[in-house]
Amino acid sequence: MTTTDTDTPSIDKAGSRSWLREHSELGVGLLLFALGVLVLTDALTMTVDLAQRGPVGPRTVPVVVGTGLLVVAVLLAVDVLRGGRGESEGGEDVDLSEPSDWRTVLLLAGVFLGFAVLIGPVGFPVSGALLFWGAAYALGSRHLHRDPLIAAGLSLLTYVVFNNLLGVPLPGGPLMGVL
């Protein structure tokens, strides 16, 4: 059987797909590299008033984290190209033949989007309670009387800890005067 020039691209395409599947960890390395470049760029272009900084300035941690991301990305890429493969966990209970559960993914995405939209107008305690309850519902919990109470308690506890104990201000919304 003879091959023509039109068969070659399909063979190359199939071969490149196979190579990419075998080296899929390079995508993680590329993502880490991009994050490292982003963090370093932001850190090095940050304007810092010399009078406000101490012995360790505000650039130190981002530079260390960005450099660490770049180093890990390069080491991961070298390992993958030398034939290294990540080992799957022995106790992992995932059936790869089953399709993805897009309903759960979309419900969780909607819950996070709703939280982001509502945190400004209604504050963290209310939007956080909706986030916790919505995430529990999306992940399969169907205790309709217990889950909202637990979500409200977690949200209020989180608000009090961050706002009052740690000094990290969270938007209180209409409950600002009550809490």
- pLDDT (tens digit, 9 = 90+) per residue, 104-121? 999 999 999 999 999 999
State residue 40 phi and psi, 5-degree precision. Answer: -65, -40
**Residue 163 in this model has a pLDDT that exceeds 90:** no
Position 68 scores a pLDDT of 96
Reduced to 3 states, what is the DSSP secondary structure of residue 7? helix
**Residue 64 in this model has a pLDDT that exceeds 60:** yes
Reduced to 3 states, what is the DSSP secondary structure of residue 88? coil
- Between residues 118 and 82, which one has the greater pLDDT? 118
Position 125 scores a pLDDT of 92
For the entire predicted model, the pTM comes to: 0.52
pLDDT band at 90 (very low <50, low <70, confident <90, very high): low
Reduced to 3 states, what is the DSSP secondary structure of residue 127? helix
Looking at residues 83-106, what average pLDDT do you find? 75
Do 26 and 77 form a contact (C-beta atoms < 8 A)? yes
30: left (phi over 0), alpha (psi -120 to 50) or beta: alpha
Share of the chain above pLDDT 90, in %: 45
> What one-character DSSP code corresponds to residue 36?
H
**Residue 16 in this model has a pLDDT that exceeds 90:** no
> What one-character DSSP code corresponds to residue 55?
S
Do 137 and 147 form a contact (C-beta atoms < 8 A)? yes
Separation of alpha carbons 44 and 66, rounded Å: 10
Separation of alpha carbons 4 and 13, rounded Å: 15
pLDDT band at 81 (very low <50, low <70, confident <90, very high): confident
